[in-house]
Amino acid sequence: MKILLGVIGYPIEQSKSPLMHNYWLKDQAIDGHYQAFEVQPLELKEAVTGMKVLGLSGWNVTIPFKEAIIPLLDQIDPAAKAIGAVNTVVVQGGQLIGKNTDGLGFVQSLIEKRSIQQIKQSSILIIGAGGAAKGIYYALSQLSPMTIRVTNRTFERAASLVENMNNNELNVAITTQEAQQKLSHFDIIINTTSVGMFPEIDHLPIDVSEIKQGALAVDIIYNPLKTRFLRKASENGADTLNGVGMFVHQGALAFKEWTGKKPNTEKAIKMIVKDQG
Ligand code: ATR
């Protein structure tokens, strides 16, 4: 039987998810289709009912619905509950189950650059305190008691992220000024904000001229592939990782939930890079 999958968001035309998931469906010889659906913000409830009655096996959820969809679902898994956002819905026995694969997808992409052991021993700075930062904070903090600092333009949001999600008193929120002063202490610096995303490609979330040699700068943005943050970090002797890996790995985890199959992430990364390039 043909399986139907999709993504809901507003706007949605920029999404690369259909390209990636339809490639994986074909590659795995699964008879199915993945469709992008633009849903008006006030019509989310109707859209969710529609997806269910039309028989979709599951779908992704993107901006601006990751939080708003929660009360419309039957179950929320522990990660999505802790993060407070859903990016993947799985339909099981008529029940709509909300999951979040963003954080784990991030960690899986980070493994391309650093081993789990190295990650555990790293001093980490997360820039930003929105939904993406929460997912990443949650997944990293699952690894072990490691030191994570969170900084944000609006300090109170960073403070409440750490307070609400904390499982380790070593993790604290710091001001942008403090993050800037202590930049050379960090082994991994992660930009989760939209600063530097197309078309605002000249903007920087933090000044990286004092970054530690050999530190890893990570941007979850993948348009452009090399943000100004990554270019500057690289010019100052840091290693870099862009957001393509996180995007592909969060998608692969969702694909596995829906189909039981593990898709080819390496080929998908190459395909997205080519598409962006
Ligand atoms: P997402 O779910 O993608 O993380 P979000 O919840 O809207 O999106 O969060 C966006 C993040 O980017 C926030 O940390 C935001 O900072 P504020 O909490 O101060 O708004 C950050 N951000 C967005 N534009 C920014 C800018 N121009 N300078 C600094 N931070 C910015």
CATH number at residue 89: 3.40.50.10860
Name 113's Cβ contacts closer than 8 Å, sequence gap at least 6.
216, 218, 239, 241
CATH number at residue 135: 3.40.50.720
Residues 117 and 205 in one domain: yes
Q: Is 82 annotated as a binding residue?
A: no
Residues 230 and 119 in one domain: yes
Query: Once rounded to an integer, what is the mean pLDDT over residues 46-65?
Result: 97
Q: Is-contact 15 62, C-beta < 8 A?
A: yes
Residue 45, CA atoms < 13 Å, CB-side half-sphere: 3
Q: Which of 22, 29, 87 is nearest to 61 (CA)?
A: 87
Residues 151 and 45 in one domain: no
Cα–ligand 1 centroid distance for 268 (angstroms): 28
Beta-sheet pairing, 188-191 with 172-174: unpaired
Give the model's confidence band at 211: pLDDT under 50 very low, under 70 low, under 90 confident, else very high: very high
pLDDT (tens digit per residue) in 253-264: 999 999 999 999
Residue 209 has pLDDT above 90, yes or no: yes
For ligand 1, say whether the CB of 130 is within 6 Å of any of its atoms: yes
Range of the domain at 16: 3-100+245-276
Q: Is-contact 76 86, C-beta < 8 A?
A: yes
Cα–ligand 1 centroid distance for 255 (angstroms): 28
Q: Is 2 marked active-site?
A: no
pLDDT (tens digit per residue) in 174-191: 999 999 999 999 999 999
For ligand 1, say whether the CB of 157 is within 6 Å of any of its atoms: yes
Residues 79 and 116 in one domain: no
Give the count of domains, the chain.
2
pLDDT (tens digit per residue) in 95-153: 999 999 999 999 999 999 999 999 999 999 999 999 999 999 999 999 877 789 999 99
Q: What is the per-residue pLDDT for 167? A: 67
Q: What is the per-residue pLDDT for 94? A: 94
Interface pTM, i.e. ipTM:
0.96
Residue 166 has pLDDT above 80, yes or no: no
Q: Which residue has the tokens 């784990």?
A: 104
Q: What is the pTM of this model?
A: 0.96
Residue 37 has pLDDT above 70, yes or no: yes
Residues 250 and 202 in one domain: no
For ligand 1, say whether the CB of 176 is within 6 Å of any of its atoms: no
Rounded Cα distance, 244 and 115, in Å: 19
Residue 252 has pLDDT above 70, yes or no: yes
Catalytic residue among 45, 52, 66, 134: 66
The per-residue pLDDT of the chain, averaged, comes to 96
For ligand 1, say whether the CB of 193 is within 6 Å of any of its atoms: yes
Residues 51 and 124 in one domain: no
Beta-sheet pairing, 148-151 with 172-174: parallel
